[in-house]
Amino acid sequence: MNTSPSALLRLYLIRHGETEWALSGRHTGSTDIPLTPNGEDEARELGKHLKDIPFTQVLISPLQRAQQTYALVGLDQAPEIEPDLTEWDYGDYEGKRSVDIRKERPDWNIFRDGCPHGEMPDQISARADRLLARLCKLDGNIALFSHGQIGAVLAARWIELAVVEAQHFPLGTASVSIFTFDSHHPTVPVIALWNAAPHSLTL
């Protein structure tokens, strides 16, 4: 990924709150389901930690679970819909659990194998790279309201790893992660915070 880093750039990756499918482990790509009541509470709790951060821009996935999370977090900044923050297109695996998919494909790994009639690793990598290249032209604190597996891919690509390595970056619901650059080596991308739950945040 070819970027033009800004020493002032901090990307706050925020996964949406809990949904029924997230709770049951069903792959939720384009299915537009809302937060559970617990997911709404998670988002409100998250807002207590984010409300005082001076965000210069807020980008959100078009899907309602991300938009609900943004609304409940309660940031003052008007959001911009960013299609590249949409969750991985699971194709034939939409709504299925990994454990059930592996009954037919025992060694299936989305980050290596992709999804039939959905996105493949090279496609999701290109999408993540396109978004990160645009973000690296910005300054300040940028909030990104997104999803679990595209979030993992963004983390891997931020530090220039292959998409398959995204399997090592799980994200909980209503979590916050921060991507920035090393203050002593400003061309080196780093993950300053990963998968922090609302109750553990000290931002």
- Annotated catalytic residues are 16, 87
Q: Return d(Cα 26, Cα 46) in angstroms, integer.
A: 24
Q: Which residues pair with 55 in a beta bridge?
A: 141
| Cβ atoms within 10 Å of 194's Cβ, excluding its own | 15
Q: Return d(Cα 40, Cα 65) in angstroms, integer.
A: 10
Q: Which amino acid is at 85?
A: L
Q: Return d(Cα 49, Cα 41) in angstroms, integer.
A: 13
| Cβ atoms within 10 Å of 186's Cβ, excluding its own | 14
168 vs 36, 152, 186, 192, CA distance in Å? 26, 8, 25, 16
Coil, strand or helix: which one is 184? coil
Instruction: Please name the helix (run of DSSP H) or strand (run of DSSP E) that holds residue 121, with its range, or none.
Output: helix 121-135
